[in-house]
Chains A and B, each alone.
Chain A
Amino acid sequence: MSVTPQQSPRLAQQDHWRAMRRETPFHPRLSALDFRHDWYVWAGCKAPLSLWDEELEYFAIRSQAGLFDISPMIKYRIEGPDAEACCERVFVRNVARLRPGRVHYTAWCDDEGHVLDDGTLFRLAETRFRLCCQERHLPWLLDSAIGFDVTVVDETEAVAGLALQGPTACAILKDAGFAGIERLKPFDLAEFPHEGGAVTVSRTGFTGDLGYELFVEAADALSLWDRLWEAGARRGIRAIGYTALNRARIEAGFIVANADFIAAEHAIRADRVRMPDEIGLGWLVDEAKPHFNGRRAILDARRRGTLKHILVGLEIEGNVPAEHALVYHARKTEVGLVSAAIWSPMAKRNIAIATLSRPYGDTRNDDLWVEIYAMREGQYMKLMKRATVVPRPFVKLDRRTATPPADC
């Protein structure tokens, strides 16, 4: 077989391995503000755990405004005359009720009703959606699109994203010239002009606070950052890393795929998969909407009562975080595991997200305990602490929903 070398765009990308971690479009700004060199890998990108001090970064979210680069988030554009019908087939939540200019949180399942991922679905126009999520799903979405007049495109690298979260977020955007931003209600989205192009702003976030997410073409990323940074100087804007965001998201009671539950396509062990009702997402499932993947299995499990697990919020006595602690009933029967836990600086409580085996966490919530192994100077301090099932979010802030927000 003869070899006929051909120049192609594919060949031009051959050297990608020389930079194993992609730097996001905001990287020049992040690295200029980074003093800790405390990076982690998010979906193949270099992303900061913290830039200066995680405590200060957390309090920026709660008292001023934290600026977080969400560019690594996986983003798919689903577009075409049948986009709504296709999304209706994929997602458990009713898509017809999602009007253009709105966003909703949703989840999608395989045919056995096991959750593939959760994410936010943006209805940018009547026939154009953007899905933001943690894991990659292109084959699943392309297969689901068969028979629909719709295209599915990965726009993860083409679109840059920023989350501006905190009490002064609205005021910063207003100062930066986003006229009318204060009229956005939670889960609204709107386009604003930027550098001859446009930036899509939604009133969404992962913090349970007042906050916005901004999406822009990668080429316009730096000018958008500068625009916010300049306007935010007087209102305490601070670039933050994931450690601070993670605290805020636990307080808000949000879950993370492959941390608080195992996404079905990643589960090597067959018993690790979860139905929406087993990870606290049962409320998303619309039984009455047109058929969607996994519907029959979910309804069967509900009817037969075969759901094995439940995801709950726990409040634990004391102040020692119970990360990855075992949960017991009556101090001796193992009934579950904590997947995320912190001492909540806002609630001043010891909080946790845990998965329990039903009926514990469901109908039997008395007498729950967590066993905390706290490593202190070369020794485990073993603590058995009482746990109470409490509703999520652990921290509920009126400013998250107030429209218009304060200062605006």
Chain B
Amino acid sequence: MEPTKSLRKLLILLILVTGMTGLQPGFSSAADQRAIEMMDFDEFSPWLSRETDSVYVINFWATWCAPCVREIPAFEQLHATYADSGVKVLLVSLDTPAQVENRVIPFIERMDIQSQVLLLDDPISNRWIPLVSEEWSGAIPATVIYSRDFRGFYEREFKFEELEAIVKPLIRDL
């Protein structure tokens, strides 16, 4: 997809969200944060190889995916516990753009998600799945965890303790 197209979608979304806040002034600050950035894989790919002093935990999920929804609290807890220690949690939704308004944003609000969420809108997944990881068959949930000296890929569901066990040693080495 051309960048202009996704930019336009983002703008439409922003307008929609801003429009909603007009009706509900009490929620304006919360709703402002709830605009989700949408991008195709080329726009997203820098997230997979940022060379900074952080541990990146990138989780691919969707609102319709029961095991994904089940493990979201574990990622949220990871964010809450370790964001100050240099852990960056990114929740990459694979919902369709049409589902953003009626599913993704309500889900984020209901769960009060604090981690950063973005929407990867790129239907030709055969092209980009192996660029995320050669190990990835395409099933979700799937998670990439990396830091400067480590890279792990996990096609599985996580509990908080399991995430913590991977992330903790990486924080020590930052």
Q: Do A and B come from one complex?
A: no
Residues of A whose CB lies within 8 Å of any CB of B are none
